[in-house]
Amino acid sequence: MNIDKAIVAWQQRLDSVTQKVNSEFGSLTAEQLNWKLSSEKWSIAEVLEHLNLVNASYEKVLTDAVNGKSDMGFTGRIGFVVKFLGKMIYDSVEPSRAKKMKTFPVWEPVQSDVSIAVLTEFKKHQALIKKLISESKQLLEKDIVIPSPANRYIVYKLQKAVEIVVSHEERHLNQALEVKALVEITVD
């Protein structure tokens, strides 16, 4: 894998998500952002809050890796476990949303009435994730193993982690767009 090309591709995909979030949700009211079909479903604002929580946790893991403080634990030394867990997590976040997944409790939105500032916060996290991906170039080339921010025993290659982050965002963008379509039906 050509790491330079991969970094550019990941950053372009992140930019695409950011632009779509801005264009699709940037002019919505707080009421529209927080509308949801039922108490079991997430609103657009909750989806964005979830992405902010996930990105903040990955920012810590990526920063630790860049600073040489990453601890992959014993599971990170078992090649087939690293490969299996990386593939399993990646498959669970694929953008089509064909399989429904429940998130780790640490990444659940903490409130149901999320501030409109969630959009600004999202943009800040996007910029930082892109910066950390660039700063991780040498580590991406070394193909290091990192722990998941949700559970240190879940480990995967750094390249897979970046792909997970990007695909996860695309998945939840699709979820938020589905909610927006319902908002437009009920608000009109």
Residue 53's CATH number: 1.20.120.450
Contact 44, 28 (CB under 8 A): yes
Per DSSP, the three-state class of 95 is coil
Of 79-83, 104-108, 113-117, 145-149, the range with the lowest mean pLDDT is 104-108
Determine which helix (DSSP H) or strand (DSSP E) holds 21, and give its type and residue range: helix 3-25
Mean pLDDT (whole number) for 13-40 = 94
**Structural domain count of the chain:** 1
pTM of the model: 0.90
Cα–Cα–Cα angle for 143, 148, 154, nearest 5°?
A: 90
Residue 76: give the domain boundaries: 3-187
188 pLDDT above the threshold of 60 = no
**What are 79-90's pLDDT values in tens digits?**
888 899 999 999
